[in-house]
């Protein structure tokens, strides 16, 4: 149980375009979803926390107008990287948490390359 | 402030035992997680401790001392596939995970 999927697993886009990444909890209801970014050889960096039906809470330094997060249902959250630039190239990972369970279940990640 | 400290890198020999330490300072405490992350992959859950003591799960064990703000992950009978980063994460009073920077474990034959 507690499976989280992400789509796409990798994407290459041109600078200036937008990319949407989906995160789905397949067998549980995710009341909270988290979006992380990880640059090579660095640790996870939390970008934002989203609760179903409400606006996401962004970490300091993360531009909310650039990284649009939507958590419209208990099983789906999306992250849209708008006007992507090469420096946005990174490994984006979502995780989901349900109910009173503190554990975060991670998706497999999405590798974004902006050319 | 909140902080999780763990060594940046450790090296061990196949078949040996290694202990990865983690010290934490969080506002409130609701437990501590250990995750394993292979290069290019997402983290996978290893253990969760909220009470003091040692919890054993196969070759992996995790220990917690709440009074000392300290945890360790013990890996026995090391295998080459154990080469990975090991992430320590404390759960604060808001049930948010506070992540350490990870310990890269290198296993040598």
pLDDT confidence of residue B80: 97
Percentage of chain A lying above the pLDDT 90 cut = 70
Q: Residue A9: phi, psi to the nearest 5? A: -80, -25
pLDDT confidence of residue A107: 93
Residue numbers in A near B30 (CB within 8 A): 102
pLDDT at B52 over 90: yes
pLDDT confidence of residue A49: 92
Residue numbers in A near B96 (CB within 8 A): 49
Cα–Cα distance between B84 and A45 in angstroms, integer?
18
Instruction: Indicate yes or no: CB of B45 within 8 angstroms of CB of A49.
Output: no
Residue numbers in A near B100 (CB within 8 A): 43
pLDDT at A39 over 80: yes
Residue numbers in A near B44 (CB within 8 A): 106
Residue-wise pLDDT tens digits, B11-37: 999 999 999 999 999 888 989 999 999
Beta bridge partners of A25: A4
pLDDT at A78 over 70: yes
**With contact defined as beta carbons under 8 Å apart, do B64 and B71 qualify?**
yes
pLDDT band at B7 (very low <50, low <70, confident <90, very high): very high
Residue-wise pLDDT tens digits, A2-16: 889 999 999 999 999
Residue carrying the six token digits 């909140």: B2
Nearest residue on chain A to B85, judged by CA atoms? A43
Instruction: Indicate yes or no: CB of B42 within 8 angstroms of CB of A93.
Output: yes
**With contact defined as beta carbons under 8 Å apart, do B85 and B101 qualify?**
no
Q: How many angstroms away from the CA of A88 is the closest CA of chain B?
A: 17
Instruction: Indicate yes or no: CB of B42 within 8 angstroms of CB of A102.
Output: no
pLDDT band at A98 (very low <50, low <70, confident <90, very high): confident
Cα–Cα distance between B52 and B67 in angstroms, integer?
9
pLDDT confidence of residue A40: 83
pLDDT confidence of residue A84: 96
């Amino acid at each position: 149980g507690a499976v989280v999927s992400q789509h796409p697993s990798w994407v290459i886009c041109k600078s200036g375009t937008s990319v949407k990444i989906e995160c789905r909890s397949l067998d549980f209801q995710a009341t909270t979803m988290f979006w992380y970014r990880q640059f090579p050889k660095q640790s996870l960096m939390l970008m934002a926390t989203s609760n179903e039906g409400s606006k996401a809470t962004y970490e300091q330094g993360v531009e909310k107008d650039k990284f649009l997060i939507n958590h419209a249902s208990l099983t789906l959250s999306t992250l849209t990287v708008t006007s992507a630039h090469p420096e946005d190239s990174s490994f984006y990972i979502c995780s989901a948490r349900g109910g009173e369970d503190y554990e975060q279940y991670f998706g497999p990640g999405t590798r974004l390359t902006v050319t | 402030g909140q902080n999780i400290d763990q060594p940046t890198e450790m090296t061990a020999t196949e078949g040996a035992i290694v202990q990865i330490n983690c010290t934490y300072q969080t506002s409130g405490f609701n437990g501590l997680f250990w995750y394993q992350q292979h290069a290019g992959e997402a983290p996978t859950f290893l253990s969760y401790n909220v009470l003091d003591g040692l919890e054993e799960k196969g070759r992996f064990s995790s220990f917690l001392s709440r009074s000392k703000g300290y945890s360790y992950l013990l890996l026995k009978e090391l295998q080459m596939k154990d080469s990975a980063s090991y992430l320590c994460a404390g759960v604060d009073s808001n049930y948010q995970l506070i992540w350490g920077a990870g310990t890269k474990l290198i296993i040598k034959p």
